[in-house]
Amino acid sequence: MTVVRREENLEAPEFAHLPPDHNLELALRRMGEFQTKILPVVDRANPRKLLGQITLADVLATYSLSAAK
């Protein structure tokens, strides 16, 4: 088994992430594209700097709240 350091993982072209200024629609598209239910939110200028995360449940809950209004 090959162990990949975290820094190498973040630089990989297939690294799924989202800057904080992107919208929820893009978050959903990225989750579908990478078949994941969670995306790290990273600094646009420094993708190694983790700012938080967004989950599929977060997005769906936000859309549910918006639709209920």
Q: What are 47-59's pLDDT values in tens digits?
A: 889 999 999 999 9
Mean pLDDT of the 13-40 span:
92
pLDDT band at 4 (very low <50, low <70, confident <90, very high): very low
Q: How many CB atoms lie within 10 A of CB 19?
A: 13
- The answer, as to whether pTM is greater than 0.75, is no
List the chain domain ranges: 6-68
CATH class of this structure's domain 6-68: alpha beta
Spell 32-61 as b/e; 16+ CB within 10 A means b. Answer: eeeeeeebebbeeeeeeeeeeebeeeebee
